Structure 1
Amino acid sequence: MSLQQLKQPWRFIDQTTLGPGFDALQSFAIDDTLCTSIGTGDSEAVVRAWVHHQTIVLGIQDSRLPMIKEGVQFLRESGYRAIVRNSGGLAVVLDEGILNLSLIVKEEKKFSINHGYDLMYALIQAMFADKDITIEAKEIVGSYCPGSYDLSIGGKKFAGISQRRIRGGVAVQIYLCVTNSGSERAALIGKFYDLAVQGQPVKFDYPTITPKTMASLSELLGEELTIQSVMYKLLTTLNTHGAKLLPSQLTADEMNVLDHHYERVLKRNEKALEE
């Protein structure tokens, strides 16, 4: 897909350095808030970058596993907080070595679900166009949260793309495993599923994790990347393709809307993981 759509003004919100106190549930509420602003025409399109520490984001289906309490207890004992996302997908790891990006645009008939995925895929390809690599978009069996837009190099997954459409806005989201061990993250999720299922009947096809199917970009490229160095690639690529970046933060009106969305997300999460 062409990156022509990037050639427009974008609010740029950088939340990569807020630290361990930045609640991942806030990110879901923030993207919903920005979708609302864009849907009503009160905001330009948004590029948001964010990092969360030691968090496992579960899907709704994960939260219904037969032995979910044992699985969540294992994650907590391993130093992770477990939360449940408000969109589709299954369990993923978020930590200080994973960069999350959201492209949030107005929902239009011509902007299909595949267009959203293809736009993010094309952006990541452009960011690493200087490398002698081929980035593929296809399901990587054995990875966590597998999907047809898993991004991989040499058959090893380093990213996954998801999408949320709400109130006239579309948030296309990606997590990029930038540093540390992708296989160790995968092994953690694999152990979670072992403990949360324990041979009991399950109503959906949860992934059977093969840790070696996942790796970080630092491992795949053989160089020491950082969140900051990948952010630089993002910004230079956006500029190269004609994006006019407007450094931004949530407005006062958006903060009021955020409070509503965040409260709703908190309640949904508590209900999904209630004791």
Structure 2
Amino acid sequence: MKNWKEIIRHKIFRYVDHTTENMVAGKPNTALTSFAIDDALAISVSEEASPPVLRLWIHPDTIVLGIPDSRLPYINDGMAFLKEKHYQGIVRNSGGLAVALDGGVLNISLIIPGADNLSIYDCYEAMVRFVQAMFADITEAIEAYEIVGSYCPGDYDLSINGKKFAGISQRRVKSGISVQIYLDIEGNSKKRASLIRKFYHIAKRGEDTAFTYPEVNPEVMASLSDLLGVSLTVEEVKRRVKDTLKEFSDEIVIIPIQDKEQENFDKRYQQMIKRNENI
């Protein structure tokens, strides 16, 4: 496996913290906004109008669905169930399947140029290395492989002792790459997994489908706090993110959303609204 510096050769990073913002780029700070702003930043990075970006985001009580989830035979019943449980359901524009977000889940977007020469696997490896470095003082047991029975399973599930606490997806826009990870830091992981398990049961109803959806087993999911036996908070992990970025770079800059980024965001936001309007 490659280390961070073999993949990411940039020395200057733009740091964006949207975890406490009520509005982003003039829109309510929801998951719809987050995926649109990541696209806008990926375009900016690809055009060399911005240095690479590391962005933090949190959204309360949201189930982020993958595009295959939107094709479930009884998707409207599944969405009604989420609404009944006071969760917002949205379909993202990046890869993967359903994941649960709330105040105990921290999301990180690593937005870099180089889609023409960085493989999908290189980008996943970079995020794995970053997260391992974030918690190196606590554990060396973080591994990357598929956790069967988890929600949104994939080859780069992050786990400790076979229990998943994070999943990674990525999206490419022009030559920009947005590598997105959710980190389950604190709270009730089994409750989150049980909610997604019930969603699939309602939205699929046991029908045969061309796509294989996961049979979610809440017992293979856990928070980092539970896995490490340490009372981690999202605020503490945010500090770890910034400290690790300082170690991995020469300079961190804070740049507000630029006019062209706002323009691209507005277009991408409307695309996200359109993607979701039939669900």
Q: Which bracket does the TM-score occupy, shorter chain normalised?
A: over 0.9
1:29 aligns with 2:15: no
Match for 1:111: what amino acid? L
Q: Structure 1 residues 3-12 or 31-40, which shifts more?
A: 3-12
Q: CA deviation at 1:48?
A: 0.5
Extract unaligned runs of 5+ from structure 2. Answer: none
2:235 to 228, 236, 247: 228
Alignment of 1:40-189 (within 5 A): 40-189=47-196
8 Å CA contact 1:6–1:241 kept in 2: the answer is: no
The C-alpha deviation readout for 1:198-238, integer Å capped at 9, x for no partner, is 12222211000110100011111112111110011111111
Secondary structure of the equivalent of 2:55?
A: strand
Secondary structure of the equivalent of 1:61?
A: helix
Alignment partner, residue 3 of structure 1 = 4
Match for 1:45: what amino acid? P
Secondary structure of the equivalent of 2:265?
A: helix
Q: CA deviation at 1:243?
A: 4.0
Q: Assess, with a 3 A threshold, how the Cα gap between structure 1 residues 6 and 183 changes in structure 2: closer, same or farther.
A: farther
Q: CA deviation at 1:7?
A: 5.1
Alignment partner, residue 264 of structure 1 = 271
1:242 to 243, 246, 249: 249
8 Å CA contact 1:6–1:238 kept in 2: the answer is: no
Q: CA deviation at 1:151?
A: 0.1
Match for 1:193: what amino acid? Y
The separation in 1 between residues aligned to 2:166 and 2:46, in whole angstroms, is 27
**TM-score (ref. length: structure 1):** 0.95
The root-mean-square deviation of aligned C-alpha atoms, in Å, is 1.4
1:12 aligns with 2:12: no
Match for 1:203: what amino acid? A
Q: CA deviation at 1:47?
A: 0.5
The separation in 1 between residues aligned to 2:178 and 2:70, in whole angstroms, is 23
The separation in 2 between residues aligned to 1:114 and 1:56, in whole angstroms, is 26
Match for 1:115: what amino acid? D
Secondary structure of the equivalent of 1:200?
A: coil
The C-alpha deviation readout for 1:41-65, integer Å capped at 9, x for no partner, is 1111101010111111111111111
8 Å CA contact 1:51–1:98 kept in 2: the answer is: yes
Secondary structure of the equivalent of 1:149?
A: coil
1:212 aligns with 2:219: yes
The separation in 1 between residues aligned to 2:173 and 2:230, in whole angstroms, is 38
The separation in 2 between residues aligned to 1:109 and 1:64, in whole angstroms, is 30
Match for 2:42: what amino acid? C
Identity %: 48
Q: CA deviation at 1:110?
A: 3.2
Extract unaligned runs of 5+ from structure 1. Answer: none
The separation in 1 between residues aligned to 2:204 and 2:247, in whole angstroms, is 48
8 Å CA contact 2:149–2:217 kept in 1: the answer is: yes
Question: What is the count of residue pairs matched by the alignment?
Answer: 272
Q: CA deviation at 1:111?
A: 1.4
8 Å CA contact 2:105–2:183 kept in 1: the answer is: yes
* Segments of 4+ moved more than 4 angstroms: none
The C-alpha deviation readout for 1:163-217, integer Å capped at 9, x for no partner, is 1011110011100001102111111100001111112222211000110100011
8 Å CA contact 1:6–1:242 kept in 2: the answer is: no
Q: Assess, with a 3 A threshold, how the Cα gap between structure 1 residues 76 and 113 changes in structure 2: closer, same or farther.
A: same
